[in-house]
Amino acid sequence: MMIETLIAVALLGALATFVAPNRVAGKLAFAISLVPAALSLWLFAAFDGSGNALLDGELAFESQAAWLEIGGRSISWFVGLDGISLPLVVLTTILCTLAIVSSWTPIDERESQFYGLILFIEAMLIGVFSALDFFLWFVFWEAVLIPMYLLIGIWGGPRRKYAAIKFFVYTNLASLVMFGSFIALVFGLGDSVTSFALPEIATAMRDGGLEGVFGLGGTTLASVVFVGLFLGFAVKVPIVPFHTWLPDAHVEAPTPASVLLAGVLLKMGTYALLRFNFTMFPEQVETYAVPIAAIAVISVIYGAMLALAQTDLKRIVAYSSVSSMGYVILGLVAYTQFGVGGATFQMVSHGLISGLMFMAVGVIYNATHTRMVTDMSGMADRMPIAVAILVAGAFGYMGLPLMSGFYGEFTIFFGAFGSELLDYSPLFTAAAMFGIVIVAGYLLFALQRTVFGPYRLETDYEVGRAPVHDVASMVVLLGLIVLLGVAPDLIFDMITDAVDPIIGGDL
């Protein structure tokens, strides 16, 4: 019942925070968030699962109970963790706690509702990464949209309503495409499945495949479902050309919402791609490997080029997320242990690094009330510690050795370069590696203009050292980035243990 306890604490904490007075809501939410964070770390320390949750693995902290029945197929409360989902649950609880702390400075109205929504998001995200029944998983998946829509629409910037609606429409439409594709998958499996449990469906797909239905043959239906699921999840990642909602959402969202959006919500898309497309459809992965790799490389280069053209610090970090998610897709489609394992590791690494970068940009904005590169310089003189952490986070993005970004990108490149599934894998890998050069270009350009040189600020605000709680949150994230860079086997071993059954299937 440990997973249920995690979700229940976050949900009950959200309710308690909603009704708490505004003056204590932030501290109350922080105290409550420490419980899921501590429990998730205990789960990590006590983890004894093996294999993959969908492919006959020995799940950790598994629980299952009957719920409903539709069309002769049962729906159940079915949760459990493996080496892929557990690191993402820990990432979720840690980032939510730190996002709450980073909210203490910028959020000064309707605090109770704000912090309650953060805890509600935490509960739903834990559900997304632990649910093993499709309908249960889909409930959590959709429920994440509501609080994020409200966080952007109520506490966001001047164009917050536009950004919130665009975020909701894009992601909800993608969910409809994904849902319809999965229902077609279940119908195509016919009597070979008796429930909506993802392990049963994945096993049936691996063992027998789809029957002809809706006037389509089994192979054609499998391709249609694979493409439909891929498109549905691609919007959430997001990858080019489905990325246009992301910069608007990030720019208008308050800093803590941006931390969660980049740090965890984007990982929902890559996690779902791994769980559904790359686990259930090995033959279609082989068929569509080259187009998917091309999309991944385009996302890497195009996202980096867009970031290079920006003068808003938040937009720079937002577009860099498009580029980073391209690396994850490349690792997944390589379909090797290091490729898929590195992609999963990179999900966690990018969550930490992007969260740190958005926090650092938020701290600078809190002091200067501007994010424009052209409006400031010499911030290192006034905010030395915060700027030092920002620079360290930027080097993590650039893949500096002994930081988690380096290990994630190295394993992806290593796995992609040696991929037997992917034609022209050395060319795809080399093209993607060029993205690192562009990343270094736009980050160094932005840092040189804003934090170094003589002090200058176009707005009329007095800039001083960042508050201790803001710095403390960033220090924790930086420490985790270095820890995973120095000792990546803390999570990489459990990740590869869960990845091996996926890539060991017949292709």
Instruction: State which H helix or E strand residue 70 sits in.
Output: strand 60-70
In the chain, pLDDT over 70 holds for what percent of residues? 99
pLDDT tens track for 411-444: 999 999 989 888 889 999 999 999 988 988 889 9
Question: What is the pTM (predicted TM-score) of this model?
Answer: 0.95
For residues 351-356, average pLDDT = 96
* Predicted local confidence at residue 223, as pLDDT: 94
Cβ atoms of 163 and 258 closer than 8 Å: no
Residues 6+ away with beta carbon under 8 Å from 10? 32, 33, 36, 96, 119, 120, 122, 123, 126
The region that residue 78 occupies, defined by phi over 0 for left and psi between -120 and 50 for alpha, beta otherwise, is beta
Average pLDDT, the chain: 93
pLDDT tens track for 97-149: 999 999 999 998 999 999 999 999 999 999 999 999 999 999 999 999 999 99
CA distances from 49 to 46, 61, 165 (A): 9, 8, 40
CA distances from 423 to 54, 235, 426, 428, 507 (A): 28, 25, 9, 9, 14
DSSP line for 261-302: IIIIIHHHHHHHIIIIIHHH-HHHHHHTHHHHHHHHHHHHHH
Q: Is 418 exposed, middle or buried (0-12, 13-18, 19+ CB in 10 A)?
A: middle
Bridge-partner residues for 69, per DSSP? 74
Lowest mean pLDDT among 64-68, 130-134, 208-212, 379-383: 208-212
Helices and strands: H and E segment counts in the chain: 23, 4
Residue 355 has pLDDT above 60, yes or no: yes
The region that residue 463 occupies, defined by phi over 0 for left and psi between -120 and 50 for alpha, beta otherwise, is beta
pLDDT tens track for 46-101: 999 899 999 988 899 999 999 999 878 999 999 999 999 999 999 999 999 999 99
Cβ atoms of 37 and 29 closer than 8 Å: no
Q: What is the C-alpha separation between 397 and 391, in angstroms, rounded? A: 10
Q: What is the C-alpha separation between 82 and 499, in angstroms, rounded? A: 10
Q: Which of 92, 6, 82 is nearest to 48 (CA)?
A: 82
Cβ atoms of 450 and 347 closer than 8 Å: no
Q: What is the C-alpha separation between 133 and 80, in angstroms, rounded? A: 10
Name the 3-class secondary structure at 10.
helix
For residues 239-243, average pLDDT = 89
* Predicted local confidence at residue 226, as pLDDT: 96
Q: How confident is the model at residue 271 (pLDDT cuts 50, 70, 90)?
A: very high
* Predicted local confidence at residue 340, as pLDDT: 97
Peptide bond into 199 cis (omega under 30): no
Q: How confident is the model at residue 507 (pLDDT cuts 50, 70, 90)?
A: very low
Q: What is the C-alpha separation between 39 and 3, in angstroms, rounded? A: 9
Instruction: State which H helix or E strand residue 60 sits in.
Output: strand 60-70
Q: What are phi and psi of 80, to 5 degrees?
A: 180, 165
* Predicted local confidence at residue 461, as pLDDT: 87
Q: What is the C-alpha separation between 274 and 141, in angstroms, rounded? A: 15
Q: What is the C-alpha separation between 428 and 430, in angstroms, rounded? A: 6
pLDDT tens track for 292-344: 999 999 999 999 999 988 999 999 999 999 999 999 999 999 999 999 999 99
* Predicted local confidence at residue 202, as pLDDT: 94
**Amino acid residing at 131:** A
**Amino acid residing at 188:** G
Cβ atoms of 398 and 441 closer than 8 Å: no
* Predicted local confidence at residue 506, as pLDDT: 40
Kindly list the domain boundaries of the chain, sorted by start residue.
1-502
pLDDT tens track for 477-505: 999 999 999 999 999 999 999 999 999 84
Take residue 5 and report the two structure tokens written for it: 């306890």
Work out the angle between the directed axes of helices 145-155 and 111-130 (0-180°, nearest 10): 150
Q: What is the C-alpha separation between 261 and 245, in angstroms, rounded? A: 12
Bridge-partner residues for 457, per DSSP? 376
Torsion of CA 48, 53, 57, 63, to 10 degrees: 70
Q: What are phi and psi of 2, to 5 degrees?
A: -70, -40
Residues 6+ away with beta carbon under 8 Å from 2? 39, 43, 61
Q: What are phi and psi of 75, to 5 degrees?
A: -115, 135
> Diameter of the chain by CA atoms?
72
Q: What is the C-alpha separation between 442 and 470, in angstroms, rounded? A: 25
Q: What is the C-alpha separation between 197 and 149, in angstroms, rounded? A: 29
